[in-house]
Structures are given as structure tokens and as C-alpha cells.
């Protein structure tokens, strides 16, 4: 009686390895973009205190502040984080965050770029809506709410 061979042939194993390699070649760049967008989302979170200060200033004075000092905020660099170099309030209440990445947290194309939040008064001045604009940051690194405008 002949014994039947069991197992995979070399060709079958090579095909499986090739399929895994193709899937990895597609998935790794997508994952890296995802992690970079998550890091830049942290920059938008760093802009939170400035959003609150601008909204409070508007509700008190009926106009937007033009600087961090007039909004009652600390210096722009006091809001720095791993992916954020500074957060600045500008004319019309516009909040601009400068990305850093000096410690290697962001890829070079996203370092030293800006993300802008612009206030829009809604409901007859009762509320403020924030519009995220990409600034100078490449779109593939922006969170979803900043890619369209």
C-alpha cells in the first residue's frame, strides 16, 4: 500500500506569501496615514482652550478677539504638544495651530504646517460654529472634518 503525501507544495506556499506581501504593501501606507491623522487630531484638541476663550470673548464683547492676549490666553507656545508647536488667535477670532513634529511624531511633509479654525456666528449671535480649514497641511494628513473646506 502506498502512503499518500500530505502538506503543501512549494508553489502553494509561495502563492500564499505573495498574497500576504501584496496585502501588506497596501495596508501599511494606509495605516501610516491613519496614525498621522490621529496625531493631527490631537493638534485640533490643543486648540480647544482657544475656541472656548474666543467664544467667551465674543459673548461678552460682541466681537472676536485679535490676539491670544485679548482673548485671555497664554503665549502661543504654551499650548505646544507632541504634534503642536503653537496655537495663535488672530484677526476675526481665527485660531491657527502650527504643527511641530520635531520629535519625529509627524512625517516631514506635515511638519511646520498650519491648521486653521474660523468662527462663524450662527443663530443671530447665539452660537458659534467652527469651520476647519486645512491651512498649509497636506490633505492626506488632515482629520476628516478638515479635508473638505
CATH number at residue 137: 3.30.700.10
- For residue 63, being part of any structural domain is answered with yes
d(CA 20, CA 96): 42
Please state the domain count of the chain: 1
Q: Is residue 75 part of a domain?
A: yes
Is 4 among the domain residues? no
> Is 5 inside a domain boundary?
no
Q: State which residues form the domain around 71.
A: 10-147
| pTM > 0.85: yes or no | no
Phi and psi at residue 126, to the nearest 5°: -80, -25
Neighbour-count burial of 10, counting CB atoms closer than 10 A to its CB (0-12 exposed, 13-18 middle, 19+ buried): exposed
3-state secondary structure of 36: helix
CB 130 within 8 A of CB 120: yes
CA 4/CA 97 separation, integer angstroms: 68
Residue 41 phi/psi, 5° resolution? -65, -35
What's the pLDDT tens digit per position in 1-15? 677 777 888 999 999
The cell for 78 is 504654551
**Residue 3 belongs to some domain of the structure:** no
Distance CA 140, CA 31 (A): 12
List pLDDT tens digits, range 35-73: 888 888 888 889 999 999 999 999 999 899 999 999 999
Amino acid at each position: 500500500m502506498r502512503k499518500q503525501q500530505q502538506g503543501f507544495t512549494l508553489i502553494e506556499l509561495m502563492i500564499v506569501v505573495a498574497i500576504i506581501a501584496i496585502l501588506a504593501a497596501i495596508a501599511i501606507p494606509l495605516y501610516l496615514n491613519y496614525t498621522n491623522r490621529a496625531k493631527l487630531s490631537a493638534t485640533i484638541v490643543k486648540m480647544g482652550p482657544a475656541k472656548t476663550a474666543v467664544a467667551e470673548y465674543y459673548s461678552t464683547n460682541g466681537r472676536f478677539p485679535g490676539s491670544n492676549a485679548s482673548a485671555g490666553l497664554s503665549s502661543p507656545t504654551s499650548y505646544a504638544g507632541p504634534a503642536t508647536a503653537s496655537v495663535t488667535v488672530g484677526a476675526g477670532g481665527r485660531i491657527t495651530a502650527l504643527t511641530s513634529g520635531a520629535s519625529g511624531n509627524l512625517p516631514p511633509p506635515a511638519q511646520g504646517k498650519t491648521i486653521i479654525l474660523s468662527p462663524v456666528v450662527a443663530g443671530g449671535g447665539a452660537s458659534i460654529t467652527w469651520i476647519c480649514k486645512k491651512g498649509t497641511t497636506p490633505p492626506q494628513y488632515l482629520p476628516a472634518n478638515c479635508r473638505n473646506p
